């Protein structure tokens, strides 16, 4: 059963310029919640503003931007009631070829940005005696595949952080909830290929990268088995943010729910063999 919109406090959502963040902001606002949508470029939030969302500029990788955004939300609306850590970055390619700076960028967005935002809203939540942090994690935080090591590492961190933070803040009336989507339709599919490092025709991973691109495009193909829409995942995010007694994790879609089960039951060597067949290295 959803919480009362009058006492939950403002809902602050990161990464709302498109996709899941945009769909989630629409849902919360339509349900009557004070909804603050954020993005690095506020101009991309114009349609959400016309829907009644408040908008604030926010780059989760920048400490000053994080502090400014949370302070502005608290000034306008009081302590954040629900923080939805949605902003994310997907880096793909063989680990040997990805520059460390690119790996750092992924962690700045998916891990440090998420933790930084949580640290900033917690004092207000604690003072109010209520609050909720909803992290958009991923089935990628439970199951790893070749070519996705950097992204998987960052999402495993989100899973570990939630398990540590949840009991730490529970005595203050604050919930920590992870939403783990499986594949869903978003702009991420189009950006994925561009994230892979171009190391030239002499790369020992040249064939692997081509096959990885094909496999990932198929994995995220709209309408394919198990591929959800952003709106369907947003419904799960809304439930995670408003349920009176939320679960610690919500799995969105068939792949998210059953993928980790299959991985836990299968021997490592069998999984490695299967993935080599799916993404041939040569």
Residues 59-109: pLDDT tens digits?
Answer: 999 999 999 999 999 999 999 999 999 999 989 999 999 999 999 999 999
Active site residues: 17, 137, 151, 155
Instruction: Identify the band that residue 1 occupies on the pLDDT scale cut at 50, 70 and 90.
Output: very low
Q: Exposed/middle/buried for 101, CB within 10 Å: 0-12, 13-18, 19+?
A: exposed
pLDDT of 8: 84
**Residues 115-132: what's their mean pLDDT?**
98
Q: Which domains does the chain have, with CATH numbers?
A: 11-278 (3.40.50.720)
pLDDT of 105: 95
277 in Cβ contact with 205 (< 8 Å): no
Q: Each residue of 240-274: pLDDT tens digit? A: 999 999 999 999 989 999 999 988 999 999 999 99
Percentage of the chain exceeding pLDDT 70: 97
Q: Each residue of 183-204: pLDDT tens digit? A: 888 776 767 777 888 999 999 9
94 in Cβ contact with 208 (< 8 Å): yes
- Answer whether residue 5 shows pLDDT above 70: no
- Answer whether residue 6 shows pLDDT above 60: no
Q: Each residue of 22-61: pLDDT tens digit? A: 999 999 999 999 999 999 999 999 999 999 999 999 999 9
pLDDT of 162: 98
pLDDT of 22: 97
Q: Each residue of 140-164: pLDDT tens digit? A: 999 999 999 999 999 999 999 999 9
18 in Cβ contact with 44 (< 8 Å): yes
Q: Which residue has the higher pLDDT, 11 or 185?
A: 11
- Answer whether residue 275 shows pLDDT above 80: yes
pLDDT of 2: 58
pLDDT of 194: 79
pTM exceeding the 0.85 threshold for the entire prediction = yes
pLDDT of 224: 85
Percentage of the chain exceeding pLDDT 90: 83
pLDDT of 19: 93
Which tokens belong to 233? 């995942």
pLDDT of 225: 87
Instruction: Identify the band that residue 223 occupies on the pLDDT scale cut at 50, 70 and 90.
Output: confident
């Amino acid at each position: 059963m959803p919480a009362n919109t009058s006492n939950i406090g403002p809902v602050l959502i990161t990464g709302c310029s498109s996709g899941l963040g945009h769909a989630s902001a629409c849902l919360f606002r339509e349900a009557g919640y004070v909804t603050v949508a954020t993005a690095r470029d506020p101009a991309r939030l114009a349609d959400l503003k016309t829907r009644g969302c408040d908008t604030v500029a926010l780059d989760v990788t920048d400490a000053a931007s994080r502090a400014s955004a949370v302070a502005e939300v608290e000034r306008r609306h009081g302590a954040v009631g629900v923080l939805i850590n949605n902003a994310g970055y997907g880096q793909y390619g063989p680990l040997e070829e990805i520059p460390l700076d690119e790996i750092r960028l992924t962690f700045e967005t998916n891990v440090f940005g998420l933790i930084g935002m949580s640290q900033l809203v917690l004092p207000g939540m604690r003072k109010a005696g209520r609050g909720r942090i909803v992290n958009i994690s991923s089935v990628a935080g439970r199951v790893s595949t070749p070519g996705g090591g950097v992204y998987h590492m960052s999402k495993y961190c989100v899973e570990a952080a939630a398990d540590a933070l949840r009991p730490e803040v529970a005595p203050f009336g604050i919930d920590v909830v992870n939403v783990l989507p499986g594949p869903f339709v978003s702009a991420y599919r189009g950006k994925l290929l561009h994230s892979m490092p171009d190391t030239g025709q002499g790369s020992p991973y040249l064939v692997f990268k081509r096959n990885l691109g094909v496999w990932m495009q198929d994995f995220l193909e709209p309408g394919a088995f198990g591929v959800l829409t952003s709106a369907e995942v947003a419904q799960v995010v809304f439930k995670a943010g408003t349920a009176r007694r939320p679960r610690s994790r919500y799995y969105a879609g068939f792949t998210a729910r059953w993928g980790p089960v299959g991985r836990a039951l299968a021997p490592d060597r069998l999984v490695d063999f299967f993935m080599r067949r799916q993404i041939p290295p040569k």
